[in-house]
Amino acid sequence: MKRPDRPRVTGALAPHAEGFGIELSRQGYSPWTASEHMYLMADVSRWLDQRGLAPAELNSVRIEDLLTDRRAHGQARRTTARGLMPLFGYLRGVGIVPEPTELAPASAVGGLLLEFVGYLTNERGLAADSVAGYRHFAELFLAVCAPDPTVRGCGLKRLEAQHINTFILTECAWRSIGSTKNLVNTLRVLMRFLHLEGYTTTSLVESVPRAIPWRDSGRSRALEPEQVSGLLASCDRRTAAGRRDFAILTVLARLGLRRGEVASLSLDDIDWRAGEIVVSGKGGRRDRLPLPVDVGKALADYCRWGRSRNDHRALFLQLQAPHVSLAPHAVTEVVKRACQRAGLASVGAHRLRHSTAIAMRRAGAPLFEIGQILCHRVVASTALYAKDDLDALASIARPWSGAQS
C-alpha cells in the first residue's frame, strides 16, 4: 500500500512541524490521519504568512477568520474548531499560540454567574461537572427573578422569600425528585453566595426549603446477578475493545466505583504486589481498596493485550486516536453498549454500583463494610441497601394482626 504523503511545512510554523509529527505518532494517529493534520499545519502556516501574522496573534477572532477562509475556499475537512484541536492543542502546549481567552460576559447575569462559578471552584472546591450543574440552575433562577442584576443593583436588593417560593413551586411542578433536589440545593448555595458578596442585604438561605430526603423513597435499583453476568459475557474479549470494556464492567460490578472514579484511575493507582487499588473519590478523597483476583485478572489482560502502548498514565484509554483517558460519560456509554448487546434495558454506570452493594448485602456483609467499599461518608447513604435484604427485614417485622393463624 502506498504510504501517505508528508507535506513540507514552510513559514511561521515550520520549526514546529517535526515535533507535531512526533506528537501525532505518540497519540496513536494512523499515518493517513497524521498526514491530514500535517497538511492542515502547512495550510495554517501559509495563511499566517499571507496575512503577515505571527502564531502568537492567533486569538479566538483570527481562528474564526481562518475557519471562514477555509470554508470559502472549498475545504471540506478541518473546517471547525473541533477539527483544529489536535494542531492548536500542540501549538498551545509548546507556548507559541495563546490560550483561548474567555469572552467578557454579555450581560450582568453573565458577570454574576462568572463570580458564582469562581466561588464554587475556589471557595467550595467543587468538581467541574458539579459546577456546571450549579451554574445551570442558578442561571434559570436569575433569568426569572433578577434578569438585570447590575452590580450591587436593586434587582437583587429587592429579592424576597416570596420570589424564591414562587420560582420553586413553578419549577418543581414538572421536575423529578432528583432534579428538584438539585434545584433547591443550588438555590441554598446561591443565596449564601449572594449574601456573602453583598448582593442581598439579608441572608435568604432559610427561605429555601431543604432538599427532599429521597433516599428512603423505595428499594434500590440493583441489577440481578444474572443480568450483571450477561453484561460481562457480552464483551468480545478477543478484541482490544472487548478487553477494555470487560475490565471497566468488572471494576464497576465488583468494586462499585462511580463512573468518574473509573475514568480517573491511573496505572500508578494499582499496587499489583500488595493487591490493592487507590480510588480518587469525591472531594479529593483517596481510598485504598483491596483488589479482588477477578478484577486484577481483567485489568492485567487489558493492560497486556488491549491497552495502547504509549506514555499516558491513565488506565482506561480511548480506542481511537488520540489515545487519551476516557471521560466519565464514556464509561456510561460502555455500560449502555453492553446492555444493548445483552438484550437489557439501557442503564447507567451507577446501577452497577447499586448491584455491588446488594450483592455484598445478600452475601452477609455488614453495612459498615459495604460503606467502606463504596467510600460513603455517612452511614445513612449505606442504609439504603438494608431495605433490599428482605429475609433480614422479615426476621424483625411484627406479625400483622389481620393475618390468619
CATH of the domain at 303: 1.10.443.10
- How high is the pLDDT of residue 88? 92
Lowest mean per-residue pLDDT among 44-58, 123-137, 138-152, 196-210:
138-152
Do 172 and 249 lie in a common domain?
Answer: no
Identify the CATH number of the domain in which residue 184 sits: 1.10.150
Q: What's at 388, amino acid-wise?
A: D
Sign of CA dihedral 93, 95, 98, 102: positive
Report the number of distinct structural domains present in the chain.
3
Neighbours of 204 (CB within 10 A): 21
- What integer pLDDT is reported at residue 60 of this predicted model? 83
Q: Is 353 considered catalytic here?
A: yes
Mean pLDDT, rounded, for 283-292: 84
Q: What is the pLDDT of residue 212?
A: 58
Any idea how long the chain is?
405
Picking from 212, 240, 265, the residue at the C-terminal end of a domain is: 212
Give pLDDT tens digits for 88-108.
999 999 999 988 765 555 566
Note if 376 is an active site residue.
Answer: yes
Instruction: Classify residue 392 by burial, with Cβ atoms within 10 Å: 0-12, 13-18, 19+.
Output: middle
Partners of 276 in the beta sheet? 271, 290
Query: Distance between CA atoms of 190 and 322, rounded to whole angstroms?
Result: 39
Lowest mean pLDDT among 162-171, 209-218, 273-282, 314-323: 209-218
Query: Is 385 in the active site?
Result: yes
Q: Among candidates 55, 51, 86, 52, which has minimal Cα distance to 69? A: 51
350 is catalytic: yes
The pLDDT assigned to 76 comes to 79
Q: Check residue 322 and give its pLDDT.
A: 87
CA distance 372 to 369: 5
Task: Considering only residues 138 and 378, tell me which one the structure prediction assigns the higher pLDDT.
Answer: 138
Q: pLDDT tens-digit profile of 219-241?
A: 557 889 999 999 999 999 999 99
Q: 92, 350, 362, 387: which is the annotated catalytic residue?
A: 350
Residues 288 and 386 in one domain: yes
Residue ending a domain, among 36, 64, 93, is 93
pLDDT at 142 over 70: yes
Decide if pLDDT at 309 tops 50: yes
Model confidence at 362, pLDDT cuts 50, 70, 90, reads: confident
195 is catalytic: no
Catalytic residue among 29, 119, 199, 385: 385
Which pLDDT value is given to residue 151?
A: 45
Q: Which of 244, 312, 323, 353 is catalytic?
A: 353
The catalytic residue among 51, 73, 158, 282 is 282
Q: Please say whether the beta carbons of 157 and 201 come within 8 A.
A: yes
- Name the band, by pLDDT with cuts 50, 70 and 90, for residue 154: very low
Catalytic residue, from 181, 237, 258, 259: name it: 258
Domain containing 50 equals 14-93
266: three-class secondary structure by DSSP: strand
If you average pLDDT over every residue of the chain, what do you get?
85
The predicted structure's pLDDT at residue 158: 82
